[in-house]
Every structure is written in C-alpha cells, then in structure tokens.
Amino acid sequence: MQSVHYAWVASLAMGLLFATVHWRHAQAPEAYYWCAALALLLLARGLFCRRVLARDSGPSLEATWTYGVFAAAEGLLWTVGLALFRVDDPAGFLLQFALTLGVSLGMLLPFGPVPRVWLAGMLPLASAQAFTLLTAPVPNRDLLLLVWLAELGLAALACVRLHLGVRETMRLQIDSEHAASLQGRALADLKDSRDQLRLAMDAIDAGVADTNVITGERFFSHRYVEILGYKDRDAFVREYRFSESLHPADTERVLEARRRHLEEGAPFRQEFRVRTASGEYIWVQARGESIRGDGDRATRFVMSIIDITKRHEAEDKLVASERRYRALFDATPSLIWTCDERGIITLVSGRACQMIYGYKPKHVLGRHVSFFNAPEFGRRAFMRRFLPVFRGESVFDVEAVHRTRDGKTLHVTVSAIPTFGADGRIESVLGVCTDITAQKRRERDLAVALRNQQVIFDAAGEGIAFVQSGRIEKANGALAQMLGVQLPWLNGRPASDILADAEDWQRVLEITRAAAQRGESANHEVMLRAPEGSAGTRGVWSQLTARMVGVDGEAEAMILVATDITPLKQREELAWHQANHDELTGLPNRRLLGENARRLLSVAMRRDRRAALMVLDLDGFKEVNDAFGHAYGDAMLRRVAMRMSMTLREYDLIARIGGDEFVVLLPEIDDPDVARRVAEKLIGAASEDVEFGERPSHMGASVGIAVFPTDGQDFDTLLRRADAAMYASKQAGKNRCTFAPPLHGEPVIPPAPRGLRPH
C-alpha cells in the first residue's frame, strides 16, 4: 500500500501514452474517456491506501480484500482498453504491445508482495493481451506470443520473490522485537548492579569515570566532578569531553596510551593536565582498567584520577632555577668560562666549547685561560690586555686571536668580570668569548663586494637606478644613454620624471610593494622618456624590474633595472597587425572583426541601442579578375576598400572576410533607415565601370542587412542572417540592399552560406 504513493504516477503515464497511440488513429475522445476513468480509479486507490495507512492498527484483512478489488478493477479497465481500441498499423500495435508489457511489469510494485492481489489485476490483462495477439493481423505473431508468455513467467517469478522477501522481513521484525524485550530486562538488572557500584565509588577519594566503549554511555563519580571544579553533575555529564579537556601538550600522548590500552591491553598509567570548570589546568595521576568481552575486545573502560597539582608545583620550584641556569649556559653561542685568581679554568660551557673550539670540557678544565691563544697572540700580549681583570677591574670587548683544536684561527672578543669574596679578595673571574671570525670575514668580503658592485654597476648594459623616497639617488651611464641625457641630470630627480606617463609610477610602486611582501621582484612594461625641455626626449619601451631593498624609517628604497625592449615591442605590434588585418587591403580580418563586434554589441545591449551588421559582396568582380588577372583584381579590391572606408564613420567597423566579400558593423544607430542609407553609399563606393575590349562592364555590390537586436542578439546570428539577406539581394537582381526578413518568415538559407565558404 505504501508503494501506491509512487506507482500511480507510472500507471497514469502508461495510460496517457496508451491514449496518445489511439489519438493518432482518430480515436481521441474514446481513448481519453478511458484515460480519465483510469485516472479516477488510481486516485480512488491512492486515497483508500492513505486512509488505511493512517490507522494506528495498520491494514486489516478487509482492507486487503478491498485492495485486491482495486487491482482487479485496474486489470479489467486495461482489458476494456485493449478490447475497444484496436490498432491496425503494425508500428502502432507494437507500441501498444510495449505499453502493455510496461503495465504488467509496473503492477509488480503495488501488487506483487501479495500474489492473490497481483493475480486479480494481472489475469484480465494477460487474457485480453493474448486475445488481441491472436486476432490482430500483425507480423511475427508467434514471436510476440512467445515474448508475452516469457514476460508473464518472469513477472510471476518476481511476484513470488517479492512475496517471500516481505514475509522474511516481517519474521525478522518479530524476532527483533523479541530480542529487544529480552535486552530490556537484562539492562534493568545491570542498572541495579551499577547503582550499587556508584555508591561505592562515591565513598573513595579518587575520581572515577566509567565509559561503555561500545555504546558511548558514561558515568562519573561525584569526586571526579568535584576534582574538576564542577557543581552541576548532570550538566557535566552532558557537556564534558575527556579529549577536549586535555592540555594540548598532553593530548596526543594520553589518547595514544588509552588507545594502546583498549586495543593491545597495554597498562594505562599517566600523569597529565586537564582543564577545570574555571578554565585553569590541574595535574592529575590517572590509572585505567578495561573490561573485555568476546575476542578480548574492550567493552568498558574505567579510569580513576587523583589531583597531584601541588606535588608538581613543588617539583617545578625545585628545578626551576637549575633549568634556567642550564638553559642560559648551554643555549648561548658564546663560550662562558670561569677561572680562579691564578687564571686556571674551573668551568666552561660544554656546547660552545665543542662548537667553537672543538674541545670537550675535560680537555680544557685545569688549563690556564691563555690556553686558547694563537701563536701570534702570545701569553704576554694576552696578559697585557687582561691583567686589569686580576687586579679587580672589568674589561669588555677586547679582541684576541685564538686557535681551535684542528688548528684554525679564530677572531674573538673577550669580556671578563671579577667576583669578590667576603674578605674583598678576588675569588674568580667570569668571562665570555664571542666568535667574530665570520664577522671579520664578512667585513672583508663586503669591501670586495662593494668594489665589484661598483664595477658591475658602471659596466652593466641595462639601465640601473637606486631610488629612495621616490627620488633617484644614483644611476648608471646605461640609463642616461637610454634616455639620451647626461648622468648628472638623473641624480636627485623624481623617478616619475623618467616615465613617459608619470601616473605609471604609482602603479609601479603598488605592484612592487605587493611583490616585496612575497620576497619577490616585480616586472613592468613601461615607456621611458625624459621630460620635455631636457637634453633627451626620445621614448624607449623598457622591461622595468623593481625590487624593494629596505625601508629606512618611512623612506622606501628600491632598485630599478631597465632593459630596452623597443625592437621587441615593434615586432610584437607588427605581428599583431599581420595576424588581425587583411594582407591585401589592410582592413581588419574576420578574427579582429569578431572580437570587436562582440564587444560593441555587448555595449549596445547594455545601453539599449540598435546596431546593424551588413554583408557586402561585389557583383561582377570574378569576371574582371578572370579577364585582367589577379594583379588588377587586387588593385581594384584595394580601391574599393579605400572608397568604402571613407564613407563610414570613424567608429564604424569594416572588414574583409575573404575574396570579394566585406562585412560592415554600424554600432549604436538610431533607426534602421540609417543602415539603408549607409548601404546605398557603400554600393556607390563599390561601383566601378570596366571595359572588356569593346564591351563595357559595370561592377556593383549586393548588400544584406541584419539589425540588432531584432534579427539576432549575437554576432554569429547577425552574420548568418545578413549573409542570407545578401544572397537574397543577388537573387533579386544584384546591386541593391536587402534587410533580413523577420524570424518567423525567414527564407530557406543555402547549405553553404557565402560568408562561410572559401573564396
């Protein structure tokens, strides 16, 4: 009965198709009366099923018999349709036969689970279809009967399978309800046992959490809730999540330990931090045990926690000072050492000693502080500089030369401070040795680099300028030569003065700043030109590479490198012109026409203006070309193109799309008559008298016009309709213009439109 909500749609669709078949055979009224009767029957069946399913008790035996009556009525109604509406046409009969097959299969969905109901609807339909096959004059009658019998057999088999499936589902439902009843009683017994366990857990000092790993059910003792600082136990049970309360530094370790305990049986003994109700973290000691079922699979996990925050605080205080001292002592990259009043080393930082000098602390302890000195920096030189320390004075940043264990020379700075005892005598000296070898090397390398940089700067073929706060601080001769000015003219001048368009400088700044945030340089194509009135004013296309090199306060600094790309730009412009213009006439070609036309039509649409597209084909040009040769024909095409271009407005488009065919676009016209007047001017411009020996000839033009948006709203449609109109002009006598007819009266267009065929 529930399937009726979906099956009636398919049944009604089959009925409509059945009626449509007979509508084609002049039986429309009777067929649709029959279809209306089918629709009423389906509606009545659907309402009946909805009312029965709405009952709490479900369908009764009486409702099932009534449902069978509906099935029999539907089968009889299809029987009447097959008996009343006969189709003599073999194709129509096959379609009717296919629809009957679909109906017989469709009856499985609403009636199949109950074989008696399905037979009530299927037997009349099967008998009527068999009778129709036996009495209808159709070819391959035996084959159709065989198909019908096979389909009935398969449908019967499907009906039996559906019936068995529904019966098995009902049996499983009954068994499930019985099992649920038994489980409910077991759960009640378990609840009594758990209540007794909870009373015991509330009496101990540790907090206990009990989690059912299978169902996710949780229990927390009052002490557990109290340790975490919560007052409302019920709200705590609803909202608390163990994994979310863990400290981020402990989460991965604790969850991994719990997983290993549940899956592998590893012991769970952990100390970690958890968040309390106030948002603070406390240290707890946790122990966990699991209850395992069949297959050694954990079913419950019980965990106890004890607050050990105070113990951890005490331990932290004991090691805090030592940790800070050791971290400072080991983390510094400089060598920290102490010596007694005689200069004997008593302590060194091990990490720095090995990293800087290559010695382990045991190799250094007990040695004199001059142990590290290089041969060229003897003990006498050392004592002359550091003797004040042993007299009670401090020394800072004294440079010395030391030697590593593998014989390398180090440049270091040494600072030393004496410490005094209660009697005022020196007890020890604390010193720090800082390796400045790399700094010394960088100083030498920087001096060499600066000299090399100056040579490169002056000899570079590209123009280079250092700009700070928008002004050129320094430039090379190549940039001055590129601009045609003297080098002193550039120094101190605003960088925007060397750009042909001064507004480009702001764009260069914005793009360079954005690139600097990514640690990159920015490239720009700009034209460089010295200002009017200066020594040089020639324009140069340049690939300008800009990179930020630092910010001094609020002053930005950048390097500009300019590469002359003027020849490249000229070649690009020539290549673009050749790719987008007709080689013979210099007019735009079909590609450039399409790009510009689509743009202009888009503008016209936004402004709600009209436009006109005209296709013009020269009349008589082929005879001239054949008679006088291609050279004369090419010259004539150039003359015609020039004359037609002179008749158009500056912003009108004219293009040669091949052979003797041209396309003209008039954007934003006020009236279609404007297009007619322009077309007449174009015909006049294209007209030319030519003499073939003693026989004069006249060359003219045929024009087709399509108006935007009435004849089309895109370029391709307008071009097609204008080409068809031009073809109509030729058929009407040539040397004239024709508007594209309205869409509903459009003439038949030849298979190969002139605007698309090769010339």
- Residue-wise pLDDT for 192-238, tens only, equals 666 666 665 565 668 888 888 888 888 888 888 888 888 888 888 88
- Least confident segment among 129-138, 183-192, 370-379, 517-526: 183-192
Rounded to 10°, the helix 590-607/566-580 angle is 80
435 shares its domain with 466: no
Which residue, among 704, 701, 705, 702, has the nearest Cα to 687 in the 3D structure? 701
Is 114 inside any structural domain? yes
Residues 564 and 588 in one domain: no
Same domain assignment for residues 437 and 518: no
| pLDDT for residue 537 | 47
Residue 739 predicted with pLDDT over 60: yes
Best-predicted range by mean pLDDT (25-34, 386-395, 477-486): 386-395
Give the mean model confidence (pLDDT) for residues 455-482: 75
Report if residue 754 sits inside a domain.
no
Query: Which class for 701: exposed (0-12), middle (13-18), buried (19 or more C-beta within 10 A)?
Result: buried
Q: Is-contact 608 721, C-beta < 8 A?
A: no
738 in the same domain as 591: yes
Burial class (CB in 10 A: 0-12, 13-18, 19+), 596: middle
Does the pLDDT at position 552 exceed 60?
no
pLDDT digits (tens, 9 = 90+) for 385-423: 888 888 888 998 888 899 999 989 888 999 999 999 888
For the chain, the straight-line distance linking the first and the last C-alpha, in angstroms and rounded, comes to: 71
Whether 187 is covered by a domain: the verdict is no
474 domain residue, yes or no: yes
For residue 453, being part of any structural domain is answered with no
Q: Which range (115-124, 269-278, 597-606, 618-627) has the least confidence?
A: 115-124
Q: Please report, as a single letter, which amino acid is at residue 335.
A: L
Are 586 and 565 part of one and the same domain?
no
Rounded average pLDDT over 747-753:
37
| Burial grade of 547 (CB within 10 A; 0-12, 13-18, 19 or more) | middle
Q: Is residue 190 part of a domain?
A: no
**53 and 136 together in one domain:** yes
Binned at pLDDT 50, 70 and 90, residue 756 comes out as very low
Rounded to an integer, the average pLDDT of 338-360 is: 89
Whole-model pTM above 0.75? no
What is the DSSP-derived secondary structure letter of residue 312?
Answer: H
Burial classification of residue 357, based on how many CB atoms lie within 10 Å of its CB (0-12 exposed, 13-18 middle, 19 or more buried):
buried
- C-alpha to C-alpha distance for 243 and 262, rounded to whole angstroms: 15
How many domains are contained in the chain? 5
CA dist 528 and 654 (Å) reads: 35
Percent above pLDDT 90 for the chain: 15
Average pLDDT for 47-60: 74
Residues 468 and 589 in one domain: no
Give the containing element (helix H, strand E) for 114. none
- Tell me if 655 sits within 8 A of 582, measured CB to CB: yes
- Residue 626: the pLDDT is 80
- Across 682-701, average pLDDT: 80
Asked whether 648 and 663 are in contact (CB, 8 A), the reply is: no
More confident site: 66 or 696: 66
Q: State the Cα–Cα distance between residues 591 and 662, nearest whole angstrom.
A: 13
Q: Check residue 533 and give its pLDDT.
A: 46
- Going by pLDDT thresholds of 50, 70 and 90, the confidence category of residue 500 is confident
Residues 240 and 144 in one domain: no
**Which tokens belong to 309?**
């925050």
CATH number where 661 lies: 3.30.70.270
Three-state secondary-structure class, residue 576 = helix
Residue with the larger pLDDT of the pair 240 and 59: 240
Does the pLDDT at position 611 exceed 80? yes
Instruction: Return d(Cα 87, Cα 93) in angstroms, integer.
Output: 5
If asked whether residues 433 and 499 sit together in one domain, one would say: no
Length in residues, the chain: 759
pLDDT at residue 106, as a whole number = 72
The residues near 586 (Cβ < 8 Å, ≥ 6 apart) are: 641
540-552 vs 555-564, strand pairing mode: antiparallel
DSSP 647: T
Query: Is residue 186, in this structure, part of any structural domain at all?
Result: no
Distances 693 to 628, 686, 696 between C-alpha atoms, Å: 11, 22, 7
pLDDT at position 721, please? Answer: 93
Residues 702 and 671 in one domain: yes
Shared domain check, 559 and 476 = yes
pLDDT band at residue 88 using 50, 70 and 90 as cut-offs = low
Distance CA 649, CA 657 (A): 20
pLDDT level of residue 720 (50, 70, 90 thresholds): very high
Residue 516 CB coordination number (10 Å): 19
- Report the pLDDT averaged over residues 98-122: 75
Q: Quote the domain boundaries for residue 598.
A: 581-745
Phi, psi of 632 (to 5 degrees): -65, -40
CA 754/CA 730 separation, integer angstroms: 11
Q: Of the candidates 435, 378, 372, 368, which has an alpha carbon nearest to the alpha carbon of residue 404?
A: 372
Angle between helices 4-23 and 28-53 (to 10 degrees): 180
Query: What pLDDT score does 695 carry?
Result: 66
Q: What is the CATH number of the domain that holds 469?
A: 3.30.450.20
**Is 257 inside any structural domain?**
yes
Mean pLDDT, the chain, integer? 80
Residue predicted with more confidence, 349 or 41: 349
Residues ≥6 apart with Cβ < 8 Å to 413: 397, 398, 399, 400, 433, 434, 436
Mean pLDDT of 127-141: 74
Average the pLDDT over 137-162 and give the result.
78
Same domain, 392 and 480: no
Q: Which of 129, 153, 172 is at the close of a domain?
A: 172
CB atoms within 10 A of CB 230: 18
